[in-house]
Structure 1
Amino acid sequence: MPTTSLLDRFLDGLTPLRPRAVWAHGSLAGGDYQEGRSDLDLIAVLPGPVRLGSVRRVVALHRRLRAEPLAPKLHCSYVTPATLGDPDRSHLTWAHGRVLRRPVTPVTRRELHDFGRVLYGGSPAGLLPPVPERQLHDFAVRDQRDHWRPAVDKARLWRQDVWVDLGLLTFARATVTLRDGRLVSKREALAELPALGAPVEVVEDIAHRRYDDDPAPAAQDWRDRRAELTRAYLGPAIDALVTAYG
């Protein structure tokens, strides 16, 4: 399978960096992985400081993987035992074909503790500090208020599939986390959306594109209407969520 081939090559190429552990989170760990559609979200725990030599090795590794068909889907943050304790700290990350720096968020940390998949080495329980409930709660509110709510006002974004999908699914996941104190998969979040008042046409559109064998591309007029429906729903919905739990 392409996923297995890619992960095997990635782990083999990571050996010179002497990782303490490699973990999967997101869809691959949570049971909602769709090969060719889902991202491969990984965390690699390296033994010491991530200096320039390590950065060069990471870049070279990901460039060597480009021949693998799913390589663009593989995203990995590189952390160390000494840097894992701070959820606000940014870490070397390979994503979207380039080097970035981004934090390992409280949601990702809780995923790793609750259902993280160990691909190599030690488990998250042995290396990753636990996530306090207040920390998870505050992050869910902040992410909706400071990232997603301003994005709703940028109309051009919502003509893209990825913004519609992630905007609605992240809202549903945040709602369940704040309401029930638990994490849910994207499939479970999709099932929550109708009860949360999301537009049924848009929910069905997401389901077709995520789970049908050969979904047809959306026509431009539907993309425009879908963007309007999503923004009209999501703005007030996020405002209400933040008011209730902020």
Structure 2
Amino acid sequence: MPTDALLDRFLTALAPLDPVAVWAHGSLAGGDYVEGRSDLDLIAVLDHPVRARTVWRIALLHARLRAEPLAGRLHCTYLTPGTAADAGRHHLTWAHQRLFRRPVTPVTRAELHTFGRVLHGAPPGDVLPPVPDGELAAFVVRDQRDFWRREVDRAANWTQDVWVDLGLLTFARATVTLREGRLISKREALDVLPGLGAPGEVVADIRRRRYDGAPPPAGEWVRRRALLTRDYLGPAIDGLVAGS
């Protein structure tokens, strides 16, 4: 299986950096992984500061993996035990074939505690502090209000499959987290969306592409789907934020 082969090669290449732990989160850990479509979302905890030489070694490691099938979908954020507890800190991350820095969000931290998959070393509970319910809820509200609601008004985004899929699925997951205090997978979010009033045609479109192997849509349906999605998401996000 290409996913297992890539993970094995990644762990072997990472071993000289003496990782304390390597974890999977997202679809790979949550039971919703679709090979060739889902990202491989990883966290590596190193036992030493991430200084310039370590950054160079990490960049070289990922560059050498590029020939592997699915390597473009492997994303990894690098922590240390001394920096892992700071939820606001930006950590070195390899994603989309480049290095940059980003935080490990409360949602990711909660996923790791709830269903994180240990690929190597210590479990998340030994390194990461638990995420308070209030912190998780506040982050989810900010993400819907400050990012997704703004993006709904940018019409050009919504002709793209990725925006339709993530916009609706993230909204459904946010709604369940705020109402019930739990995390759900993307597959579960698809089941939740009709009950939240999402347009059935769009939900069916997502399901066909993600799980039935249907080709990307074209023509008039792309424009109609964008309109349906935006008309639904704007008021839905406003209602969720107002009630939180």
TM-score bracket relative to the smaller structure = over 0.9
TM norm structure 2: 0.99
* Aligned equivalent of 1:231: 230
Q: Which one-letter code corresponds to 1:122 in the other structure?
A: A
Whether the aligned pair in 1 keeps the contact of 2:23 and 2:42 (CA below 8 Å) is: yes
| 4+ residue segments displaced more than 6 Å | none
* Aligned equivalent of 2:146: 146
* 3-state secondary structure, aligned to 1:82: coil
CA deviation digits over 1:12-36, x for unaligned, max 9? 0001111000000000100011011
* 3-state secondary structure, aligned to 2:41: strand
Equivalent runs, 1:23-42 vs 2, <5 Å: 23-42=23-42
The gaps in structure 2 that reach 5 residues or longer are none
* Aligned equivalent of 2:196: 196
* Aligned equivalent of 2:240: 241
Q: Which one-letter code corresponds to 1:78 in the other structure?
A: Y
* 3-state secondary structure, aligned to 2:243: helix
* Aligned equivalent of 1:118: 118
* 3-state secondary structure, aligned to 2:85: coil
Aligned counterparts of 1:128 and 1:177: Cα–Cα separation in 2: 20
Aligned counterparts of 2:5 and 2:155: Cα–Cα separation in 1: 39
* 3-state secondary structure, aligned to 1:7: helix
Aligned counterparts of 1:74 and 1:157: Cα–Cα separation in 2: 24
Deviates more, 1:82-91 or 1:181-190: 82-91
RMSD (CA atoms): 0.7
Aligned counterparts of 2:8 and 2:16: Cα–Cα separation in 1: 14
How far residue 216 of structure 1 moved from its aligned partner, in angstroms, is 2.0
* Aligned equivalent of 2:15: 15
How far residue 88 of structure 1 moved from its aligned partner, in angstroms, is 1.4
Aligned counterparts of 1:155 and 1:86: Cα–Cα separation in 2: 36
Q: Which one-letter code corresponds to 1:171 in the other structure?
A: F
How far residue 217 of structure 1 moved from its aligned partner, in angstroms, is 2.2
Equivalent runs, 1:88-107 vs 2, <5 Å: 88-107=88-107
* 3-state secondary structure, aligned to 1:198: coil
Q: Which one-letter code corresponds to 2:51 in the other structure?
A: R
Aligned counterparts of 1:132 and 1:9: Cα–Cα separation in 2: 35
* 3-state secondary structure, aligned to 1:100: strand
Aligned counterparts of 2:222 and 2:87: Cα–Cα separation in 1: 36
Aligned counterparts of 2:137 and 2:114: Cα–Cα separation in 1: 16
Whether 1:130 aligns to 2:133 is: no
Aligned counterparts of 2:172 and 2:89: Cα–Cα separation in 1: 26
Aligned counterparts of 1:17 and 1:223: Cα–Cα separation in 2: 46
Number of residue pairs aligned between Structure 1 and Structure 2: 244
Whether 1:55 aligns to 2:71 is: no
Aligned counterparts of 1:206 and 1:112: Cα–Cα separation in 2: 26
* 3-state secondary structure, aligned to 1:20: strand
Q: Which one-letter code corresponds to 1:98 in the other structure?
A: R
* 3-state secondary structure, aligned to 2:214: coil
Aligned counterparts of 1:134 and 1:8: Cα–Cα separation in 2: 37
The gaps in structure 1 that reach 5 residues or longer are none
* 3-state secondary structure, aligned to 2:109: helix
Identity %: 69
Q: Which one-letter code corresponds to 2:31 in the other structure?
A: G
* 3-state secondary structure, aligned to 1:42: strand
CA deviation digits over 1:160-192, x for unaligned, max 9? 111100000000000000000000000001100
How far residue 64 of structure 1 moved from its aligned partner, in angstroms, is 0.6
Aligned counterparts of 1:15 and 1:126: Cα–Cα separation in 2: 20
TM norm structure 1: 0.98
Whether the aligned pair in 1 keeps the contact of 2:161 and 2:216 (CA below 8 Å) is: no
Q: Which one-letter code corresponds to 1:34 in the other structure?
A: V
